[in-house]
Amino acid sequence: MIIMKTIIVTGLPGCGKTSVLNEALEVLKREESKVNCVNFGDVMLESAGVKHRDELRKMPQDKQVEIQKKAAEKIAAMAKKETIFVDTHCTIRTPSGYLAGLPEWVLRALKPNAIVLIEADPAEIAKRRETDSTRNRDDETKDEIAVHQEINRAAAISYCILTGSTTKIIKNRQNKLLDAVKELVSLVK
Per-position pLDDT tens, the chain of length 189: 356 799 999 999 999 999 999 999 999 999 988 899 999 999 999 988 888 777 777 788 888 889 999 999 999 999 999 999 999 999 988 888 888 999 999 999 999 999 999 999 999 999 988 887 776 666 789 999 999 999 999 999 999 999 999 999 999 999 999 999 999 999 998
Asked if residue 18 lies in contact with residue 87, where contact means CB atoms within 8 angstroms, the answer is yes
Supply the pLDDT for residue 28.
Answer: 94
Supply the pLDDT for residue 152.
Answer: 98
| In the chain, domain spans | 6-38+84-186
The domain covering 6-38+84-186 belongs, at the CATH homologous superfamily level, to P-loop containing nucleotide triphosphate hydrolases (3.40.50.300)
Supply the pLDDT for residue 1.
Answer: 39
Is 114 in a helix, a strand, or coil? strand
Instruction: Give the separation between CA 188 and CA 27, rounded to whole angstroms.
Output: 11
Supply the pLDDT for residue 137.
Answer: 65
Supply the pLDDT for residue 138.
Answer: 63
Instruction: Give the separation between CA 44 and CA 72, rounded to whole angstroms.
Output: 8
Supply the pLDDT for residue 173.
Answer: 94
Supply the pLDDT for residue 50.
Answer: 85
Asked if residue 64 lies in contact with residue 56, where contact means CB atoms within 8 angstroms, the answer is yes
From residue 188, alpha-carbon distances to 45, 144, 163 in Å are 27, 32, 18
